[in-house]
Amino acid sequence: MGNSEQLAVGVIGTGGMGSMHAENLHARVANARLAAVSDVDIARAGEIAERYGSVAVFGEAVELIRDEEIEAVVISSPDQTHAPLVLECLKNRKPVLCEKPLADSADAALEILEAEVELGRKLVQVGFMRHYDPQHVAVKEEVASGAVGTPVVFKGWHRNADQNPGITSEWVVINATIHDIDSARWFIGEEIEEVYVRGMNTAPKLGEDVWDVQLIQFSTTGGRMGSIETNVVSGYGYEVGVEIVGESGVVRTAPPSGAVVRRERAASQRIEDGWLERFHTAYVIEVQNWVESLRNGGPTGPDAWDGYASLVVADACIASLRSGSPQKVARLEMPLLYGEGLEVAK
Ligand X SMILES: NC(=O)c1ccc[n+]([C@@H]2O[C@H](COP(=O)([O-])OP(=O)(O)OC[C@H]3O[C@@H](n4cnc5c(N)ncnc54)[C@H](O)[C@@H]3O)[C@@H](O)[C@H]2O)c1
Residues that bind ligand X (CB under 6 A): 12-18, 38-41, 44, 61, 76-79, 81, 99-100, 127, 129, 175, 275, 279
CB of 160 to ligand X, least distance (A): 10
CB of 306 to ligand X, least distance (A): 13
Other Cβ atoms within 10 Å of 338 Cβ, number: 18
Q: How far is CA 183 from the centre of its chain?
A: 9
Report, in angstroms and rounded to the nearest whole number, the Rg of the chain calculated over CA atoms.
20
β partners of residue 219: 194, 225
CB of 222 to ligand X, least distance (A): 28
Q: Which is nearer to ligand X, 62 or 319 (CB)?
A: 62
Q: Which is nearer to ligand X, 78 or 146 (CB)?
A: 78
CB of 294 to ligand X, least distance (A): 19
CB of 45 to ligand X, least distance (A): 8
Q: Which is nearer to ligand X, 77 or 177 (CB)?
A: 77
* CA–CA distance, 233 with 202 (Å, rounded to integer): 8
Cα torsion angle, 28, 34, 38, 42, sign: positive
Residue nearest to ligand X (CB): 15
Q: Which is nearer to ligand X, 125 or 175 (CB)?
A: 175
Q: For residues 159 and 240, is the Cβ–Cβ distance under 8 A?
A: yes
Q: Which is nearer to ligand X, 80 or 145 (CB)?
A: 80
Number of continuous H segments (helices) and E segments (strands) in the chain: 11, 15
CB of 322 to ligand X, least distance (A): 22
Q: How far is CA 218 from the centre of its chain?
A: 20
Q: Which is nearer to ligand X, 196 or 275 (CB)?
A: 275
* CA–CA distance, 318 with 322 (Å, rounded to integer): 6
Q: For residues 286 and 301, is the Cβ–Cβ distance under 8 A?
A: yes
Q: For residue 97, report the phi and psi dihedrals to the nearest 5 degrees.
A: -105, 110
